[in-house]
Structure 1
Amino acid sequence: MNIQFDEQRQVFHLQGPGTSYIMQVLRHGYIAHLYWGKKISTYRQSNPILFTDRGFSPSVEPADRAFSLDALPHEYPAYGNGDFRTPAYQVELGNGSSISDFRYKSHRIFQGKPTLEGLPATYTEQDEEAMTLEIMLEDSTIGLSATLIYTVFRNFDVITRSVRFHNAGNEPVKLLRALSASIDFHDSEFDLITLYGAHINERNISKRPLVPGQQGVESRRGASSAQQHPFMALLRKGADEDHGEVYAFSLVYSGNFTAQVEVEQFQTCRASIGINPFGFSWLLEPGEQFQTPEAVLTYSSRGLGDMSLTYNKLYRTRLCRGNYRDRERPILINNWEATYFDFNADKIEQIAKTGSELGIELFVLDDGWFGKRDDDNTSLGDWTVDTRKLPNGLKDLAERVNAMGMKFGLWFEPEMISENSELFREHPDWCLHVPNRPSTTSRNQLVLDLSREDVCDYIIQSVSDILASAPISYVKWDMNRHMTEIGSAVLPPERQRETAHRYMLGLYRVMEEITSRFPDTLFESCSGGGGRFDPGMLYYMPQTWTSDNTDAVCRLKIQYGTSLLYPVSSMGAHVSTVPNHQVERITSLDIRGHAAMSGNLGYELDLTKLTDAEKEIVRKQVADYKQIRPLIQFGDFYRILNPFERNDAAWMFVAPDRSEAILGYFRILSQPNDAFHNIKCKGLDPDALYKHEETGAVFGGDELMNVGLSLPQLRGDFASLFWKFSKVED
């Protein structure tokens, strides 16, 4: 890694392990983007910006019609002074105008990576791991500055970007738009990949060619959402899983976002990502600052697979934090689909006892343990134990579970409030609402106003009191609705459009405080399943409930799409009963187990109702998973067959030292006279020999990757196999 500044040519050259990123300060102080792609040793201006008279494009200099901001490849573009494309930022001044003009003022280069105040971000453990460039831009007319922050890493081909605004003037300035990153590409010959979905159908993969005009994704829901994802990738034509150039953008943020590409009149394109300007503004008083979330940009010359390996490793080791970052995740049993709200301490103990006998390590008590929570109409916000169901309290139940050799976990939904609750009756103004407007409910609940300090303090204290009251080793942190009537009782009218972002800052403060108070507790985030599976959440909670959909076949696509960005160690995956509660499909315990073993294994069914034969299958799955758990959770993940395109799926987990590997294969529907399948492995050592543990056969790593491996003919629908390979020592 290195960051160089050529004083004579005014060129910045940022270098990662295999990436170069190059900018230049032009006359008048405008910063142009020159190159992002495969690493070069030295930049000698082989692609200088060619200025030409574009006819009706406005020019900065009356005497030089060729120097037009409308055609310049900007690094952080404005609007209103000659560039008609989508701006990266926009302001509103006291006189009603929205014109600003940032020019280069100064820069500094230093070792390490600064934190972002109040926001999650990637980090370093030693300053030697990264270098940072800060470029200060200034509009001297209004006294507003924007510091562009870039970091390159020693071990990862990523560039992180964010922006810090500072009002050094004498008058307030309102930010209407404040994106984290914008890049002008010199052409538009790309396909665009995004992730889309819905509740119980998260992170499907969309791929389409760029067309003239605007295209992209966004959320206006107050959460990153299951519907769209704060990520996009631009693929060169012909690029695929293993070949071709990929330029990817991921936002470390959990709220409203935009990720968009504009193909403009000269067939270039502008890609940008950041907080969604829809419904957003931020008032900067003199002396105040505003920090945007971090965007993580990744370049790959070897397709989507290499992009994913980079994101997976970075997010697992330099975004996730805490004691569980590098610790194996326990195998759990969750009672939700087994009992829903209808349980008591004895029923919970029976399920836990059976789980203990099968080797399961953690019992998680889901919704229904607090207030008068017999259904979803009541009690959210009242974090006190329901002694009707648990007459001796949580501590007694947790200790009974612990006595079986299992840890105890608990479900919360701290961000929500029921109208039928003691908390709402005491503090009706604590929810998001707009005066004189009815409040829209979803799942019979409202959203607490986390832009308020007193609300955040209440959540921190009430959750902490419960966690301190019993030996609780795991927390499932849920959030089951999106924001409506986004308004705060404590913000003045000119700041109401800050509410959604202030909510996120409040949530991050709450999570930071609680997870710091309980460092030995494993926290898993959830939002109706995977509705807030984003990098911002992983900074506080190292794993996420991937989807409320536990059907094994659906999970193939959901987990495949999730793997584009996120490590396996971040994916909660459970075996549930059949017929499945979401799609009514009946599948074997084998494929349910193999799908769930492709993440952090858990179970979500009534174990006491299993037959003896089924219990033996579960016991073996648990024992087998314990043997391969480090490889699954912390190995390198390779996608082989894409279930979005085929009737089957395949992927591999490979140890970082390539000493062992697991191949998972899943065939969905049986076909008459089905062809024999040949799988080409990935990630192995081509010069090593590998023993196939199931058959004892030995193959060369190069043979397994280039010739491939013949699979047996599988019978029936929904069939799968999980094969292990171990390197043969000399």
Structure 2
Amino acid sequence: MSITFHSDGSIVHLTNGTISYVIELLDHTYLLHRYFGQAIRAWHGTGVTIPSKRSYTTEYADGTQNLYFDALPFEYPTPGRSDYRLPALTAEGPSGAAVVDLKFCSWQVLPQKPAVPGLPMTFSAPDESETLEIVCSDPVAGIKVYLYYTIFHDLNIITRHQRIENTGKTAIRLRNVQSLSLELPARDYELLTLYGCHAKEANQSRALLHQGVQRIGSCYGSSSPRHQPFFALLQPGTTEQTGEIYGFQLIYSGNFSAAVEKDTFGQVRAQIGLNPDTFTWTLEPGEAFDTPEAVLNYSANGLNGMRQGFHKLIRNHIMPPRWRDAQRPVLLNSWEAMYYDVSLDKIETQAQLAKELGIELFVLDDGWFRAGNDSRSSMGDWTCNQNKLPGGIDRVASIVHAKGLKFGLWFEPEAVSPNSQLYRTHPDWIVHVPGYAPVEGRHEYLLDLGRAEVQQYLLDMLHGYLAGGQIDYIKWDMNRPLTDVASSALPPGRQGEAAHRYILGLYAVLDEITRCYPDVLFEGCSSGGARFDAGMLHYFPQNWTSDNTDACDRVTIQSGFDLLYPQSTMGAHVSITPNHQTGRSTTLDTRYQVCRLYNLGYELDLTLCTPEERDEIARQIAAYKAQRSWLMAGTLFHSQSSDQNCTAWSVVSPDQTQCMMIVFQKLYNPLSSCARFALCGLDPASDYRDTATGKVYGGDELMQIGLTVPLVKHDFTTFCFHLVKI
């Protein structure tokens, strides 16, 4: 791993022996991107061409023939000086014009990775990464920009963020600050994104990149109700195991923008950062603004290579270290068993059955504080309804702990009901625009987390429940988007800061509460996957993947999310059939097999299960526990097949001694041949035994030829192959 400078001071090369990132300094003035991809020993100007002059454009200031800003591959492009493509930074300086001309000042290698104040970010030990700092400035606009590039010793990843300072004597108005901008050479690319909606998250969209700007984003106040803060540019024809990919991800939980521009001549500029449609920020003289950190992931080995790069980064450099290797308990969530109608008798009955089946954690979901059995009241007060639960949460915790189970509790701290004491006392604490009746979502408003007093209220409430040590797990939910986005704590000219300040306030609360209670397992949720992002995983080591627990739909949802997130971060629950969300019926075995490579849980009324079903659940849990450690720590792969009716994914243990492969057959098709799937990540020089059949296969044979799925005349069927090295 090294960051080296060319002897003439015009080139810097970041490499770890696997990837290289090259920046050239043009005339000791402008930063140009020259290369990102597989490692090279050095860069000598390979691939640089001077294109023919385009009509109707401007020329570079020194008069060099055929050189102009609109073709230069800038590292951090700005508008107003002849580059008409997507800018990474747009700011209004003293003149009021949105013109910024950043010029190079200095660069250096830092002794350690700098913090991003108030924001989640990657972390590493000094010997695990190196960081390049580049300083550029525009004295006329009064702007200084610090560009940070971090390379990790064992990852195909560069992370980037910026600090923007006002060095002038008047205020500066930021209108657009992207965390990452990357120039790629003219060639064909496919654009991969993850899109969806509530109960149908993380669908993969893949299409050929065309001329113009293609853009996704969020303006909901949370990261992922419709699109993940992620995209990838793929070599056409890329498969799970082959092909070149550039993956982009933002470590942020609010509004974002991800855009790719392919110009008329095929050159590509890709960016990700804060959504400029919902953001402005005023910097007074001497103030600074820090952008969220962005991740740039290179894979020469297809989607699996990108997948594993993101997984390693999150496990080792984003997730709370306390939970990286910790076993997640098998849980029972009360929601589909009780909904809002909770009682001590129901809780004790469910907890007793859970204990008998081997479940380790009982989670009390919504309803425990409600005045009635619906969502129309009490949110924000967080006082247990003693009529439903005499003795309160302490009593519930004691009942659950007496069964030998851990106890978890559901909260939605960011919301407040109009019918609540908190709202009646502090109506100005909600996000709202004066003069408009605020819009309700699920009979709720959102608290203005940008206000210090709101943050303190939430902290005091959470400390009150957690300080006693009775709660082992918190499910932190957030069930509505931001609307009427304005803060009564901000003046009219700074309302464009409200959405980002909301997220900064959220992070401030999460930072304190998770530091104070490191042994409490926090799970994030936002109506399922509406705020499933790397920023939340900096505080919460796992997230509820989707409110849709249907096994067939979960195959698509989980396959999308696990492109980015390790299996240990994803909650996967077995629920009742017919499924409450879709009405679809699947076997108990299928529902379990779809969940078993992730964080296993159950979300059903155990009293409605037959004795035979409870026996099967007990066997499922025992099998899961026996393999949980290596399944959660192992490497996740997807296998390629021409049969789109089947999906196959597997986990290989860190020492390559075990592999668990699950194949899901959506529909039985009598006209198709049996699907065959090649495995990945095994030791090619060793043999493996199928524990179910006793058959022995070579690791190379399994990876080159694969296993054939049996012919089974049923829809929604799963097949499990457990292979052990001999």
TM-score > 0.5, shorter chain as reference: yes
Distance in 1 (CA, whole Å) between partners of 2:321 and 2:402 is 27
Task: Give the structure 1 partner of residue 121 of structure 2.
Answer: 121
- In structure 1, how many angstroms separate the alpha carbons of the residues matched to 2:52 and 2:27? 16
Q: What pairs with 1:403-422 in structure 2 (closer than 5 Å)?
A: 403-422=402-421
Tell me which moved more, 547-556 or 665-674: 665-674
**Which stretch shifts more, 716-725 or 470-479?**
716-725
Q: What letter is aligned with 1:282?
A: W
Which residue does 2:584 correspond to in 1?
585
Alpha-carbon offset, residue 638 of structure 1: 0.4
Alignment partner, residue 130 of structure 2: 131
How far residue 672 of structure 1 moved from its aligned partner, in angstroms, is 2.7
2:658 maps to 660
- How far apart in 2 are the matches of 1:690 and 1:617? 27
Report deviation, 1:600. 0.2
Amino acid at match of 1:407: K
SS at match of 1:323: helix
* Cα separation, 2, equivalents of 1:369 and 1:136: 53
- Which ranges of structure 2 fall in alignment gaps of 5 or more residues? none
Q: Is the 8 A contact 1:193 1:233 kept in 2?
A: yes
Match of 1:723 in 2: 721
Distance 2:606 2:388 in 1: 20
Alpha-carbon contact 2:640-2:678 (below 8 Å) kept: no
5 Å matches for 1:66-85? 66-85=66-85
- 1:50 Cα deviation from its structure 2 partner: 2.2
What per-residue deviation string (whole Å, max 9, x for no partner) do you get for residues 7-61 of structure 1? 4151011113411111111026011111111110121222335265333221232
After superposition, what is the alpha-carbon deviation per residue over 1:81-103, rounded to whole angstroms, capped at 9, x for unaligned?
11011100101124321111100
Q: Deviations over 1:637-679 (max 9, x none)?
A: 0001579x72121111101110111011111112236523322
- The residue aligned with 2:8 is 8
- Once the two structures are superposed, the pairs formed by residues 388-537 of structure 1 within 5 Å of their partners are 388-469=387-468, 471-537=470-536
Give the corresponding residue for 1:611.
610
Deviations 1:306-340 (A, max 9, x none): 01011111111211014222101000000101110
Question: Would the aligned equivalents of 1:162 and 1:180 in 2 still touch at CA under 8 Å?
Answer: yes
Task: Please state how far the C-alpha of 1:110 moved relative to its aligned partner.
Answer: 2.4
Shift of 1:107: 1.1
Query: Which amino acid in the other structure matches residue 115 of structure 1?
Result: A
1:651 aligns with 2:649: yes
Contact 1:134 1:148 in 2 (8 A): yes
The amino acid of 2:368's aligned partner reads W
Distance 1:303 1:641, change over 3 A: closer
**In structure 2, what is the equivalent of residue 223 of structure 1?**
222
Q: In the alignment, does 2:383 pair up with 1:372?
A: no
In the alignment, which residue of structure 2 is the partner of 1:35? 35
Q: Which amino acid aligns with 2:591?
A: R
Aligned equivalents of 1:429 and 1:614: distance in 2? 51
Q: What amino acid does structure 2 have at the position aligned with 1:226? A: P
CA distance in 1, matches of 2:59, 2:416: 55
Q: Distance in 1 between matches of 2:464 and 2:372?
A: 19
- The whole-number CA distance in structure 1 between the counterparts of 2:634 and 2:446 is 38
CA contact (8 A) 1:182 1:270 kept: yes
Give the corresponding residue for 1:61. Answer: 61
**In structure 2, what is the Cα distance between the partners aligned to 1:180 and 1:260?**
12
- Residues in 2 aligned to 1:674 and 1:237: alpha-carbon distance in whole angstroms: 26
Q: Is residue 241–residue 640 contact of structure 2 (8 Å, CA) maintained in 1?
A: no
Separation in 2 of the partners of 1:713 and 1:387? 56
Distance 1:17 1:354, change over 3 A: farther
After TM superposition, list the pairs within 5 Å mapping 1:680-699 onto structure 2: 680-699=678-697
**Distance (whole Å) between structure 2 residues aligned to residue 62 and residue 165 of structure 1:** 28
- TM superposition shift of 1:374: 2.2
Is the alpha carbon distance of 1:494 and 1:677 closer, same or farther for their aligned partners in structure 2, counting shifts above 3 Å?
A: same
C-alpha distance in 1 between matches for 2:262 and 2:709: 45
In 2, distance between residues paired with 1:712 and 1:675?
Answer: 10
1:62, distance to aligned residue in structure 2 (A): 6.3
- 1:182-581 alignment to 2 at 5 Å? 182-469=181-468, 471-581=470-580
Task: Give CA deviations for 1:126-158 in whole Å, capped at 9, x if unaligned.
Answer: 201000001001001132111110000001110
Equivalent residue of 2:418, what SS?
A: coil
Distance in 2 separating the partners of 1:560 and 1:727: 26
Pairwise CA distance, 1:290: 0.2
What secondary structure, in the 3-state scheme, does the structure 2 residue paired with 1:76 have?
Answer: coil
Query: Could you tell me how far apart the structure 1 residues matched to 2:701 and 2:641 are?
Result: 22
Q: Is contact 2:94–2:141 with CA below 8 Å preserved after alignment?
A: no
What is the RMSD of the two structures over their aligned residues, measured on CA atoms? 1.4
Amino acid at match of 2:115: T
Bigger shift: 499-508 or 625-634? 625-634
Aligned CA distance change for structure 1 residues 63 and 609 (closer, same or farther; 3 Å): closer
* Alignment partner, residue 96 of structure 2: 96
Matched residue of 1:324: which SS?
helix
Conserved? CA contact 2:709–2:719, under 8 Å: no
* One-letter identity of the residue aligned with 1:719: T
Code of the residue aligned with 1:587 in structure 2: it is: T
Matched residue type, 2:134: I
CA contact (8 A) 1:58 1:65 kept: no
**1:712 Cα deviation (Å)?**
2.3
Counterpart contact for 1:591–1:720, Cα < 8 Å: yes
Report the alpha carbon displacement of residue 65 of structure 1 after superposing the two structures with TM: 4.7
- Supply the distance in 1 between the matched residues of 2:422 and 2:57 (Cα, whole angstroms): 59
SS of the residue corresponding to residue 475 of structure 1 reads: strand
2:699 — aligned with what?
701
Give the 3 Å change call, closer, same or farther, for CA 679–185 of structure 1 in structure 2.
Answer: closer
The two structures have a TM-score, normalised by structure 2, of 0.98
* Equivalent-residue separation in structure 1 for 2:372 and 2:555 (angstroms): 34
Distance 2:164 2:671 in 1: 64
Alignment coverage as a number of residue pairs: 726
**Greater shift in the superposed pair: 611-620 or 40-49:** 40-49
Structure 1 Cα separation of the partners of residues 660 and 350 of structure 2: 31
Q: Is the 8 A contact 1:32 1:75 kept in 2?
A: yes
Superposition TM-score, scaled by structure 1 size: 0.98
SS in 2 for 1:603: strand
Q: Distance in 2 between matches of 1:440 and 1:225?
A: 21
Q: Using the alignment, how far apart are the partners of 1:723 and 1:267 within structure 2?
A: 45
Query: SS in structure 1 opposite 2:340?
Result: coil
- Of 530-539 and 714-723, the range deviating more from structure 2: 714-723
User: Would you identify which runs of 4 or more consecutive aligned residues in structure 1 move more than 6 Å?
Assistant: none
Query: Distance between the aligned counterparts of 1:25 and 1:62, measured in 2?
Result: 15
- Taking the aligned partners of 1:527 and 1:557, their CA distance within structure 2 comes to 19
- Identity, in percent, stands at 44
Q: Answer whether contact 1:73 1:186 (CA < 8 A) is retained.
A: no
Asked whether the equivalents of residues 50 and 67 of structure 2 are also in contact (C-alpha less than 8 Å), the reply is no
Aligned in 2, Cα 1:244/1:672: closer, same or farther, shift over 3 Å? Answer: closer
**Counterpart AA for 2:109:** I
Once the two structures are superposed, what CA deviation does each residue of 1:445-486 show, in whole Å capped at 9, x if it has no partner? 011101101101111110121122451110000000000000
User: For the residues of structure 2 that align with 1:478 and 1:469, how far apart are their CA atoms?
Assistant: 22
Query: What does residue 672 of structure 1 align with?
Result: 670
Secondary structure of 1:81's counterpart equals coil
Contact 1:379-1:420 at 8 Å conserved across structures: yes
Structure 1: distance between partners of 2:655 and 2:458: 44
Structure 1 residue matching 2:495: 3-state secondary structure: helix
CA contact under 8 A between 1:383 and 1:466: conserved in structure 2? Answer: no
Taking the aligned partners of 1:266 and 1:679, their CA distance within structure 2 comes to 40
1:112 and 1:129 in contact (8 A); partners too: no
The one-letter code sitting in structure 1 at the alignment partner of 2:95 is: N
Between the aligned partners of 2:49 and 2:142, the Cα distance in structure 1 is 30
* 1:451–1:505 CA contact under 8 A, matched in 2: yes
The separation in 2 between residues aligned to 1:211 and 1:331, in whole angstroms, is 46
Q: Write the distance in 2 (CA, Å) between the matches of 1:100 and 1:63.
A: 21
SS class of match (1:70): helix
Q: Is the 8 A contact 1:594 1:722 kept in 2?
A: yes
